[in-house]
């Protein structure tokens, strides 16, 4: 769905959307196409790429705010669709920060020996919770899914090791009113629609994500100059640029795909990672920082040696 398509639905313009957000198009799931279907496709692609099969995965974390059903967890549907019958699968709800929270959680399972090989998926069908009459929100979001495989291996305990080197998560529920969905099983017995004070979110976003990025640098002794790639949550070009500039991250290392898929919440970072790998940018051994901020508020960062 292009910005021109949106001009036919609400009073907006390609100019306004591009100037304020950098978004040029987003993808909308087909009728009947659910979050678990998108997640399963992404998971299969990640497993093929990693050279692992259904018998190899013993942890599935699916980050989503748009599950197929209230229960069972969408992750268990993906587990079944992939033919995985062992281990554990569960959903993780941290909205736009979901993928970073998922990577961090999987890393804890792997480093404590509770799992050997994890599938972390970010998958969303935000088109189903948008108010298509509200131009302040419906132009920003899209549907999509992305996934990675993480495997436990012995390392040296240095930043030369491959895998998740550090991760930092935070939340502060006092910010609920700035970004939320106005429905749910226990409150309204409806699914509800996304509501957002865009300006308020913007005001907090840069400070919060740069805080947790600093945490990651302090924990590892690494600096912005050490990063090969910076892969931020793809919400908005202006938030991405302002965060990178604040920490002195070189512009040529920033992966930006928000123009192609809009804000896909938990799916945005793995979509950006997939695009950067396909383009031949991110390669084995590269140092990659991911970060996100979303409803709650929740926010987090991680540094990964690819």
Q: Which residues are catalytic?
A: 96, 233, 263
Check binding of 201 to ligand ACO (CB under 6 A).
yes
DSSP 177-191: GGEEES--TTTTSS-
For ligand ACO, which stretch binds (CB under 6 A), given 73-81, 165-173, 195-203, 217-225?
195-203
Q: Contact 8/43 with Cβ under 8 angstroms?
A: no
In the complex with ligand ACO, the residue whose CB is nearer, 178 or 305, is 178
Q: Contact 3/23 with Cβ under 8 angstroms?
A: yes
Buried b (16+ CB within 10 A) or exposed e, 88-114: ebebbbbbbbbbbbbbbbbbebbeeee
Check binding of 294 to ligand ACO (CB under 6 A).
yes
User: Where is 229: in which H helix or E strand?
Assistant: strand 229-232
Check binding of 24 to ligand ACO (CB under 6 A).
no
**To the nearest whole angstrom, how small is the minimum distance from the Cβ of residue 92 to ligand ACO?**
16
For β-strands 287-294 and 143-151, DSSP reports them as unpaired
Check binding of 216 to ligand ACO (CB under 6 A).
no
Contact pattern from residue 96 through residue 125 relative to ligand ACO, giving x for each residue in contact according to CB under 6 A and a dash for the rest? x-----------------------------
Q: How far apart are CA 197 and CA 239, in angstroms?
A: 15
Residue with the closest Cβ to ligand ACO? Answer: 198
H helices, E strands: number in the chain: 10, 10
In the complex with ligand ACO, the residue whose CB is nearer, 100 or 118, is 100
Check binding of 199 to ligand ACO (CB under 6 A).
yes
Check binding of 235 to ligand ACO (CB under 6 A).
yes
**To the nearest whole angstrom, how small is the minimum distance from the Cβ of residue 62 to ligand ACO?**
19
Q: Contact 120/180 with Cβ under 8 angstroms?
A: no
Maximum Cα interatomic distance, the chain, rounded to a whole number of Å = 57
In the complex with ligand ACO, the residue whose CB is nearer, 35 or 243, is 243
Q: What is the contact surface with ligand ACO in residues (CB under 6 A)?
A: 12, 16, 20-21, 96, 135-136, 139-140, 179, 196, 198-199, 201-202, 205, 233, 235-236, 263, 293-294
């Amino acid at each position: 769905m292009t910005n021109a398509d949106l001009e036919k639905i609400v009073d907006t313009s390609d100019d306004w959307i591009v100037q304020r957000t950098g978004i040029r198009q987003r993808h909308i799931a087909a009728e009947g196409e659910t979050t678990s279907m998108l997640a399963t496709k992404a998971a299969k692609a990640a497993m093929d790429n990693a050279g692992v099969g259904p018998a190899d995965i013993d942890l599935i974390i699916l980050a989503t705010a748009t599950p197929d059903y209230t229960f069972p967890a969408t992750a268990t549907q993906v587990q079944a669709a992939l033919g995985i019958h062992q281990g554990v699968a569960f959903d993780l709800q941290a909205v736009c920060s979901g993928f970073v929270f998922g990577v961090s959680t999987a890393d804890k399972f792997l480093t404590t020996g509770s799992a050997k090989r994890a599938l972390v998926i970010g998958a969303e069908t935000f088109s189903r919770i948008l108010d298509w009459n509200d131009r302040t929100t419906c132009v920003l979001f899209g549907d999509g899914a992305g996934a990675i495989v993480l495997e436990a291996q012995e390392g040296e305990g240095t930043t030369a090791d491959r895998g998740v080197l550090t991760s930092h998560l935070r939340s502060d529920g006092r910010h609920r009113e700035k970004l939320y969905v106005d429905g749910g099983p226990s409150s309204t017995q409806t699914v509800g629609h996304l509501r957002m004070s865009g300006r308020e979110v913007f005001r907090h976003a840069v400070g919060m994500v740069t805080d947790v990025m600093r945490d990651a640098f302090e924990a590892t002794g690494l600096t912005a100059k050490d990063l090969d790639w910076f892969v931020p949550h793809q919400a908005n070009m202006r938030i991405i640029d302002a965060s990178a500039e604040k920490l002195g991250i070189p512009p040529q290392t920033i992966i930006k795909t928000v123009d192609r898929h809009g804000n896909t919440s938990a799916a945005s970072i793995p979509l950006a990672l997939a695009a950067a790998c396909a383009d031949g940018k991110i390669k084995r051994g590269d140092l990659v920082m991911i970060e996100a901020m979303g409803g709650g508020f929740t926010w987090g960062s991680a540094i990964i040696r690819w």
